[in-house]
Each structure stands twice: as structure tokens, then as C-alpha cells.
A and B are shown apart, each in its own frame.
Chain A
Amino acid sequence: MSDRIREKLNILADAAKYDVSCSSSGGTRKNDNKGLGNSHVSGICHTYTEDGRCVSLLKILLTNHCIYDCLFCVSRKSNDIKRAAFTVDEVVDLTMNFYRRNYIEGLFLSSGIFKNADFTMERLLLVVKKLRLEQNYNGYIHLKTIPGASDELIKEAGLYADRMSINLEMPTEAGLKLLAPEKNHADVIKPLDFVQKQITQFSADKKLIKHIPKFVPAGQSTQMVIGATPESDKDIMYTANAFYRNFSLKRVYYSGYVPISNDSRMPVLGTQPPLLRENRLYQTDWLMRFYGFKVQEILNDANPNLDVDIDPKLSWAIRNMQHFPVDINQADYRMILRIPGIGVMSAQKIVQARKFGKLRIDQLKKIGIAYNKAKHFIICADSPYQLKDYQGTQIKAFILAESKSKYLKTDNNQMLLF
């Protein structure tokens, strides 16, 4: 018995790991029935894999049997691999026991499509219902929507899941058609749109009736594989931007393609996954969501791809030197946020602290800004007198010279940078 469950877990965790979403944030579920678990506002990473990715959820497939043949996917029909399937109870058991030991924040359940979409979706629904109704489980649940599943099933699942997601897979329709001829973006858009409308509906009802259940309280997310097809960074981020706007997505994930197939339409096996590019895309995503940048400011026809050697915020600043230097003691919060080397936390501290007097360099350093980077873009109370204006390109050279290795070897996707 224990050998069989070990084998299943190995196969079905292995097949699920290419889905990069690990976030357990945004949940609001409370443990008010004295059951097990609750949501932590920002989610907790309980451990990190050896490639440095956060592990917070038990991320598994219900099964890796699949009737489709998407080229970028390890579970595709034509791939010669071991197949396995969990029973509903096995998934419930694993989740409960891992959760009780503080291994995980919750469950991320996805599945290959066996028989048909509804048949698969029904099984997924059974798992979440058992957890919530029989086990009093209030931990996080992220459920994959199966493309093509009926509205009723999706709607019911939304009553129990914290987050639902459905992957765009490729940033453009053309890219998707190339690698998964049976799929199209419309199949993804339909359920995203449906769930979004339900969320809006439920929250409208909630204002009128008190005890309305929560519907997908942590919202929806999606994922795009990058580097498998030839889209530019601009294509990718414009798609992301449109999906953030149209479906109020909580997150878009960018997953650097890890070669798993010998097909001539794909990067060959053994090619390094584009980790640095992935990192730059996440940085751009952050600039859009937390730093008030419009995607068009960062990527446009003149600059269709992100710089590799410097981060997109620095890159924007260097192209727009007319906005600098910014006076730390005068400028708008919005503008302070745009200074390279100053993050959201530091920007907030600066705006607070300057009420008590003009800030000096040593205070800025204590507040935690990356002064060596920021100094080219700011003036504060005791800025040294600058004889001449440097060009953007010169500044870039200074910064690169000072911190070369750091800039050329950033390959994490957990944002720590600006």
C-alpha cells in the first residue's frame, strides 16, 4: 500500500511541477468552524526547492492520463511515460496529513483530461467538496479549471476553491495553434470570463444578503509558457496586461520553457530554460502592478524586448532622463517610486520621514534604498554638486561597472530586486 501511494505521488507531483504558480496569497478563509486550517494573508512558503522556488502547496495532478496531445506538456497522449491516477480519498488524505504537519498551505489540484472535460471536472469537484464539507478543511485550495467543463460544474467548484486558474499556455493564439492545434485561447477565455462574472455577481449579492457564500475569494490566475514559441516580450506583456484588465486576474505567471520534447517545432532538449528573461518579465509585471507603470512605457514598437543586462525600471529611467534627477524632499510619491534603487517600502518611508526635515544621504541609506544605483537619479539635502549632466548610457555603464556580476546572473523569479 505505501509503495503504491509513493509511486503515484512521484508520478503525479512530477507531472504537475511545471505549473509555476505557487502562490497561496489572497485567501481570506477563516477557521471559524474549529476545523483545520485558514488562509494566511500573503501565503507562506514552507520550503524551497533546490532551484529556489517557493513550495507552499501540495501541487499534484489527479491523473496524468490525457486525451490531448499538447506538444509543450509532459502529460501529452503521445509521450511515452508512466501513467497513474489518485483516488479522491487518496488526495484528501494526503492533503489533510501534510497540512496537519505544517508542510503546506494547501492543495493545488490539476489534472490531465481523461474521458472528457466534465468527467474530469466532476472528480476535481468531489475532492474539494470532501475536504470542505467532510473534513472541515479551511486551508487554501487552488483548482485548475478544465477547459470545456460545463458552467454548472465550474460554478459549484468556485464555492469551495480559493483560487481558480486556467492556463493560456502560449502568449499568442498563433503560438498556441503551433504547439497545440486542438486548443485555442477562446476555450480559456470563456471560463475565465464566466468565473469573473460570478465573482462580481456574488460580491454584488453579498451587499444585499449577509450570508452569501464566498466565491473564489482569492481570484483567478493564469500562466504562459515563454521561450517555446517566438513571441517578443512586448507580445507577452501586452497579452498579460489585457488579461489583467479584462478578467481582473490576481496573477499572471511566466514559465520559462523547460525542454521536454524532441519535436522540431520546439527548443531542443538540453536547452537552458530562459530564466533571466523570465525574471525580467516578472519585474515588468511588478512595475505594472505596484509601481504605476503603463506597459506601453516599458515595451513599445521602439523597444519590443526587455534589456537583458539591466532591469526594466533602470532601463526606463535611462531612456527617460528628462524626468531626472528627482528631488527626494519634494517629489510626488508616484515619482519617487520610479527611481531605480528605491522600492515600495523605501518610497513610503521616505515620504513619511521627510515631514520631519530634509533627508540626507546617510538617512536614505539607513532607510534601505540601493544608494549606489539611486544616486544617479536623485538630489537630496546634501547631494554633492554635479558638474555635468551625464547621459543615460554613461549612467548605465557606471552602474554595470559597479555591480556587474549581480546584473548578469540574476535568475530568480521571486522578486527581491528593486
Chain B
Amino acid sequence: MIYIFDGSLPGLLTAVFEWFERKPGKVVLKSIEMFQPEAFAESFTVITDAAKADRVWTGLQKKLTKASLRKFYCSYLSEIPEAYNHLFQFSVYIFKHAAGADSNYGNEHVMALAKYAKSVEREKHRMEAFIRFQKTGDGLFYASIDPDFNVLPIISSHFKNRYADQQWVIYDLKRKYGLHYNLETVSEITIGFAEGINKQKPAPGLMDENEALYATLWKDYFKSANIVARKNTKLHVQHVPKRYWKYLTEKIDV
């Protein structure tokens, strides 16, 4: 039996609800995007229902530690097709067992969630480290990213707490939405970019007059801090995988 859901978190939670309603035996959960009809497998399309989803979420909150709940959410943000099924099986497993089952690392779904969450948390941490703001002409600090996973929801509070006295935008180019902090609150936005604009590095004319100077000083600093006698490129690349270099002011040639 295949359950098909719309890819949203409430959708996934509704699927768990439906399973307990119907008890159809073994089920695999797939998102509609990934679903290809198979000749012999029966399928059931889950209709997302906020009230049902809420009940499942409240149930999970009761049964899981805070850390496990976080792993659950992060696994969802991974957007990895197999992760959805693991989340589904994990929920079923949790509701069938007494509280505490989420620390059974011998269970494949518990372990799978731990792994997904680890990758997502790593990506979150990398974004918090590698995002580079550029100050625009009107004083806004702008950064664009294209992270492997959908991490904007979990980096928001970090940037809000830290950069409380400056307006900023972090834009996910891959998922085409971003966060804007207006000195009070953070809201989700989309940007209509003008034709031909460099979304990564807008033209100098659009930027604050000192932006180029500070970028240069930072590059200089990065060079000075290096100790040639200790050069270790392998380790360097291990810490800063090449796909992140495009973010880094210190790695981009002017």
C-alpha cells in the first residue's frame, strides 16, 4: 500500500493520522512529486487536514523529548524523498510504544532520523558560518544562499538575535524565498529581481560606498592569517567544501 501526500509537514502528519484510522497494514509514504503509479501497488491519496495534523503533532510533542522533536522537524526540512517515509514509520513506531522509544538507536527509523537531522543541522551551522552580508546603498544587509536543505526556518532566530540593530535579507535562490528582518520581526518574502541583475553580488553602484573596502580588508585579513609553513589544503577543503566557496567573500576574486 502506498500513501501519497502533498509534501507538506501537515500533509505528512495527516498521513499518520489516517493510518491509525484505517490500520491498512504495511504502508510506504511518498510525496506526490516522487510518486509514479506502480501497476500492482494500491495507493491512497492523503488529503491534508490541519486539525488531524495538529492532533498528531500534539501527540508527538507528548511522546518525544525536545531533542527528538527537533530531529523530526529537521529530517522533514531535508526534503529527501526517503526521509518522508522514515518520518512516517517513525511516528507509527513512536505511537505504538511507550514514551522513551525515541532513544532506541537500534531501530532503523530512529537511526535514520538521527542521520538526516545531523546533515540538516550541519547545513544550518554552515549557513550561520558562511553567509556573508553585503551592505546595500540603502543600508540593508543582503545575502543570497542556495543550501542543500531548506534551512531558512531554522536559521532565522539565530540571525534575528544576533543582528538585531540592522535590517537584513537572506534569500534562498534555489527555493525562491527569503527572510527579511525589519528591526522588529522576521517575515518570509520573495524578491522580484530586475532583469540581468547579479543575485549573488549586485553591482557596486547599488552598494554602500564602503562595501568594497571592507570586503577587501576581509580578504587581506584572510591572507594574513594564513601560516604558509602549516599549509594543509586537504584539511582546508574538508572544513570548507568547494561548493560553499561561492558564498565566501574571502574566496571570491574581485
Query: A residues touching B (Cβ–Cβ < 8 Å)?
Result: 2, 5-6, 9-10, 13-14, 17-18, 30-31, 34-38, 40, 44-55, 58-59, 94, 97-98, 100-103, 136, 256, 258-259, 272-273, 275, 349-350, 352-353, 355-357, 359, 363, 366-367, 411-412, 414
Once the chains bind, are B164 and A258 in contact (CB under 8 Å)?
no
Residues of B within 8 A of A52 (CB): 230, 232, 234-236, 238-239
Q: With A5-B217, A45-B239 given, can you name 6 additional A-B contacts, CB distance below 8 Å?
A: A36-B166, A49-B222, A50-B226, A50-B231, A356-B104, A357-B106
List B205-254 residues whose CB lies under 8 Å from chain A: 210, 213-214, 216-218, 220-222, 224-236, 238-240, 248-250
Q: How far is the CA of A162 from the CA of B234 in the complex (A)?
A: 33
Query: B residues touching A (Cβ–Cβ < 8 Å)?
Result: 101, 103-107, 111, 125, 128-135, 141, 143, 158, 161-166, 210, 213-214, 216-218, 220-222, 224-236, 238-240, 248-250
Once the chains bind, are B230 and A273 in contact (CB under 8 Å)?
yes
Given contacts A258-B229, A258-B230, contact A47 B163 (CB under 8 A): no
Q: Residue of A at shortest CB range from B214? A: A97
Given contacts A45-B239, A272-B229, A353-B104, contact A101 B221 (CB under 8 A): no
Q: Residue of B at shortest CB range from A42? A: B125
Once the chains bind, are B249 and A411 in contact (CB under 8 Å)?
no
Residues of A within 8 A of B158 (CB): 40
Once the chains bind, are B221 and A100 in contact (CB under 8 Å)?
no
Residues of B within 8 A of A366 (CB): 105, 111
Once the chains bind, are A411 and B232 in contact (CB under 8 Å)?
yes
Q: How far is the CA of A357 from the CA of B105 in the complex (A)?
A: 10
Once the chains bind, are B230 and A275 in contact (CB under 8 Å)?
yes
Residues of B within 8 A of A38 (CB): 161-162
Residues of B within 8 A of A59 (CB): 225
A-B contacts at CB below 8 angstroms, number? 157
Once the chains bind, are A45 and B103 in contact (CB under 8 Å)?
no
* A6 in complex: contacting residue of B103, B134, B220, B236, CB < 8 Å: B220
Once the chains bind, are A102 and B133 in contact (CB under 8 Å)?
yes
Once the chains bind, are B135 and A49 in contact (CB under 8 Å)?
no
Q: How far is the CA of A187 from the CA of B228 in the complex (A)?
A: 32
Min CB gap A34→B, angstroms? 5
Given contacts A10-B220, A44-B129, contact A17 B225 (CB under 8 A): yes
Once the chains bind, are A103 and B233 in contact (CB under 8 Å)?
no
Residues of B within 8 A of A51 (CB): 226-228, 230-232, 235-236
Once the chains bind, are B135 and A34 in contact (CB under 8 Å)?
no
Once the chains bind, are B133 and A100 in contact (CB under 8 Å)?
yes
Q: How far is the CA of A52 from the CA of B228 in the complex (A)?
A: 11
Residues of A within 8 A of B143 (CB): 102
Residues of B within 8 A of A2 (CB): 213, 216
Given contacts A38-B161, A363-B105, contact A100 B222 (CB under 8 A): no
Given contacts A6-B216, A36-B164, contact A101 B226 (CB under 8 A): no
Centre residue among B141, B162, B214, B231 by max chain A CB count within 10 A: B162
